[in-house]
Each structure stands twice: as C-alpha cells, then as structure tokens.
Amino acid sequence: MLKEISAKKNTSIAEVVRECIAYYSTSKCMISNKEKYRKAINSIGRFKSGKKDISINHDKYLAEDFKK
C-alpha cells in the first residue's frame, strides 16, 4: 500500500509515512479533552432554530426530523 501511494505521488515511502504521521497527530483522535471541552463551550449559542422549547421537547423534534 505504501509503495502504491508513493508511486502515485512520485515521492518516497518515508515521505508518505511522515505525511501519515502528521495527519494522524492533528486528527480528532489526538485532540485533548480540554480542547474538546473548549470547542463544546464555544459552540453554545452559535446555532439557532427559532424554537424556544428544544430542551424540553427534543425527542419530539428528533422524531419529526427522522421521519423526513
């Protein structure tokens, strides 16, 4: 697989491995819990539906959307 990728990209296998490691190290699985928490907190209030009772009737709205 690495040989195929390196041939397709016209680069060395070592470079392909370095790119994979760089990608993996910045992927979501490597994000700390602190960073995940910060992102979750920053998302509060960023999305609007116009509905005022989502915290109470969330199951109703989910059921309606799943029917679509």
Q: What is the pLDDT of residues 17-68, one digit of tens each?
A: 999 998 888 776 778 889 889 999 999 888 888 888 988 999 999 999 898 8
Domain assignment of residue 46, yes or no: no
d(CA 34, CA 64): 34
Domain assignment of residue 9, yes or no: yes
SS in 3 state form for 18-64? HHHHHHHHCCHHHCCHHHHHHHHHHHCCCCCCCCCCHHHHHHHHHHH
Q: What is the pLDDT of residue 52?
A: 87
Domain assignment of residue 13, yes or no: yes
Q: What is the pLDDT of residue 46?
A: 87
Q: What is the pLDDT of residue 49?
A: 83
* Domain span holding position 25: 1-33
How many structural domains comprise the chain?
A: 1
Confidence of residue 5 (pLDDT cuts 50, 70, 90): very high
55, two tokens: 């915290």
Domain assignment of residue 6, yes or no: yes
